[in-house]
Amino acid sequence: MKFHNTPLAGAHVIEQEKRGDDRGFFARYFCEQEFAANGLETRFVQINNSLSRQKGTLRGLHYQLPPAAEVKVVRCVRGALWDAIVDLRPDSPTYRKWYGAELTADNRLMMYVPRGFAHAILTLSDDAEAIYLVSTFYGPEQERGLRWDDPAIGIAWPTVPAEVSSKDAAWPDFDPAFHGVDLMRGLP
């Protein structure tokens, strides 16, 4: 596996190294030793699967407050999506900055989303499917989100979302009090 730094502290795009022959190929999705050697989370408690039928479907921006703050490793397994992350750790040099990358079934890239980051996917194809490793169980009382088009964050989405759930559309603009910024202090 190749671990590529993103402009955001602690976030990575992970590239699978394929070993192949005329039958096809083999590649790792996760390796505890390689993740540990790169200083990344190695304990995951869930593997989640999402399918979005319509191109332009937005899911996010979501995250969880401590003690349920989570690491995610996201991979698109069918179609294409654009993965966006926002650093919400006030002690971070990239606090309130965002980054986005195209993840497709063909490029097999993965996004490593650290604790203290908001995360969203925007589908770039119909029937886009993603799987993601999650380090912490879902804690509904710790769930938070940001409005996808919050001008204070200013994400340059590749296209305007065609489908946003009522829950995701109702998230507020960034507000340190609501978004638990003090609780994010000191997260790795």
29 as an active site residue: the answer is no
User: Active site includes 95?
Assistant: no
Choice among 12, 63, 132, 179 that is catalytic: 132
* Nearest residue to 98 (alpha-carbon basis) of 184, 14, 174, 25: 174
Long-range contacts of 148-155 (CB under 8 A, 24+ apart): 148/58, 148/60, 148/61, 148/120, 150/174, 152/96, 153/86, 153/96, 153/98, 154/98, 155/84, 155/86, 155/98, 155/100
Selected catalytic residue, list 12, 62, 119, 179: 62
Pairing of strands 12-15, 110-113: antiparallel
Indicate which residues carry an active-site annotation: 62, 132
